[in-house]
Structure 1
Amino acid sequence: MTMQRDVHGELRARLHEAAEAHEPDRARILARIERGMTEEVRGRSGHRATLPPAFGWLRVAGATAAVAGVLAVGGYAVASAVKEEAPPQRKVAVSATPTPSPEATSRPPAFPVDPDPEPSSPVESREEPSSPPAQSPSASASAPAQLPADAGVEDGPLWSDGSVDPHSNDFWAQSNITVKASEQLTELTVQLRIAQTGGVSSTGAWRSLPEDDFTLSVGEQDGFLVYTWVLKEGRTVPEGEWVFAGQYDHERGGRDAKDDGYAATARAGTEELSVAGDFAAQDDDDSSEGDS
């Protein structure tokens, strides 16, 4: 099928070139026609006949029309031969542009509303004081107020104790304040004072009561690193035993905590309470006598 199309295409091309190159000599054709007609008249009469001018022009016009007809038929034949079949037209289906509906209009996403966070529960215990994550203290804008340090370790329903955590090492330490309340407290402020013995700097703090119930401030005052926890207004401390801890770096080697101290003030009902103490190591012999 492809070879046949190539042969036809070559033939059409050659015919087309021959038709374009052919230039008919109209004057010569007319002269031959006129000469033939003259000879025909001579053969009939035996002498040359003179044609009227009008009749001569009619003959010339007729001959011209005949030549034009021949040329037209020839051109039509050549054009038919070189005419290529036009490929069938194909219709392309074009879908109309859809009109956006109101539902398809883009809208900002609706963000889900987070539920109110549940208050943190006291998961720390005195038996593992160094396990809770450290809380980054906020720097105090002003020097922390010093709580009275002349009170005893117990005042009515409030009891306290201070100790250096056994997990402390040659570069880091944690001091714990334990507070016991036999009644609900509506006010409570706890303060820890760490003497600057060299290289002392805060590394964090925590408490076993809910974090959101207290504000914490840390600052330097009179050669001490001071941590202060204040119970927020409207919050309460239930009965129980609670721990407040301050963590800090210090110079290499064993650190003496004899100058460290703590103090706390509280309210139980209408009663104002206050306790204070230090971090001196307890004598085992004294403890044995007290137990006996």
Structure 2
Amino acid sequence: MDETRLHRELREAALAHRPDHARMLARVERGMAAPAARPPRPAARRTGRRWTAVGAVAAAVAGVLGVGGLAATTLNDRPAAPATTLPAPGPSARATATIDPGGNRWWAQSDLRLTTDTPVSGLTVELRVVRTPGVVSTGHWRTRPAEDFTATVTEEGRELVYRWTLKPGRTVPPGPHAFAGQYNHAEGVRDASSDTYTVVLTGADGGRSTLRGDFGTTGPE
């Protein structure tokens, strides 16, 4: 059949067609009365190795599970915060530093009077005398037994340092105690206001307290 004849027959058929308007109207009314149907989901397109849609869903699920699993692992494996332990209060004590009135124009003694209210299982007493002209150690003493302490006298920078340290296993009972450092100095009145002391006390329960201060006075005439 040639192309001219085909076109003619198609045109004649179209002219001869008479649509059934009543049937078409009824079909439209039925369609409006029925609930809207969900459009069909497009078929998953298959790639070379897996279904694309299924792969996307699986990846999304795996991502959610992966994040959740990581969070759970992080929380579960996080080390517990260490318990906060406050230090025990240290022993109650008081200290007073003075220049002994028994000194003279060439010699002085720095006195530290310490009063403890409870037994002390650890004690370090330190006197620091600034090395002004002529300062040289001439000795030291304490009211507690000498065998209970390790005593040293050293020169540290511009200071002469007297240090008493209670030996392990020894105890200092409650009460007044005295520690003294003796030294020569240049003739005249020596200014002791820059001399300092430090006392570190440890109780039987491990509590520690520290006392610090200075002499703040001048020696005798």
Task: Work out whether 1:179 is the aligned partner of 2:93.
Answer: no
Work out the CA distance in 2 between the residues paired with 1:231 and 1:244.
13
Out of 229, 232, 245, the residue aligned to residue 167 of structure 2 is 232
Task: Work out whether 1:192 is the aligned partner of 2:123.
Answer: no
- Give the TM-score normalised by structure 1: 0.43
Task: Work out whether 1:281 is the aligned partner of 2:212.
Answer: no
Out of 152, 157, 165, the residue aligned to residue 100 of structure 2 is 165
Aligned match of 1:93: none
Aligned alpha-carbon RMSD (Å): 1.4
Secondary structure of the corresponding residue to residue 167 of structure 1: coil
Secondary structure of the corresponding residue to residue 212 of structure 1: helix
Work out the CA distance in 2 between the residues paired with 1:159 and 1:267.
14
Preserved CA contact (<8 Å) 2:91 2:203 = no
Aligned match of 2:154: 219
- Give the TM-score normalised by structure 2: 0.56
The residue type equivalent to 1:157 in the other structure is S
Secondary structure of the corresponding residue to residue 252 of structure 1: coil
Task: Work out whether 1:258 is the aligned partner of 2:193.
Answer: yes
Task: Work out whether 1:272 is the aligned partner of 2:208.
Answer: yes
Greater Cα offset, 245-254 or 268-277 = 268-277
Work out the CA distance in 1 between the residues paired with 2:210 and 2:102.
29
Deviation at 1:281, TM superposition (A): 3.4
Preserved CA contact (<8 Å) 2:201 2:209 = yes
Structure having the higher strand fraction is 2
Aligned match of 1:247: 182
Structure 1 residues 162 and 230, CA, compared in 2 at 3 Å: closer, same or farther? same
Q: Which runs of 5+ in 2 are unaligned?
A: 1-89
Work out the CA distance in 2 between the residues paired with 1:219 and 1:230.
14
Work out the CA distance in 1 between the residues paired with 2:209 and 2:93.
7
Structure 1 residues 243 and 258, CA, compared in 2 at 3 Å: closer, same or farther? same
Matches within 5 A, 1:144-155: none
The residue type equivalent to 2:213 in the other structure is G
Q: Could you list the runs of 4 or more consecutive aligned residues of structure 1 that deviate by over 6 angstroms after TM superposition?
A: none
Report how many aligned residue pairs link the two structures.
128
Deviations 1:100-147 (A, max 9, x none): xxxxxxxxxxxxxxxxxxxxxxxxxxxxxxxxxxxxxxxxxxxxxxxx
Deviation at 1:185, TM superposition (A): 0.1
Q: Which runs of 5+ in 1 are unaligned?
A: 1-154, 283-292
- Structure scoring higher RCO (CA < 8 A, sep ≥ 6) equals 2
Preserved CA contact (<8 Å) 2:91 2:120 = no
The residue type equivalent to 2:145 in the other structure is P
Secondary structure of the corresponding residue to residue 172 of structure 2: coil
Preserved CA contact (<8 Å) 2:201 2:210 = yes
Work out the CA distance in 1 between the residues paired with 2:204 and 2:143.
23
Out of 140, 149, 156, the residue aligned to residue 205 of structure 1 is 140
Identity over aligned residues, as a percent?
41
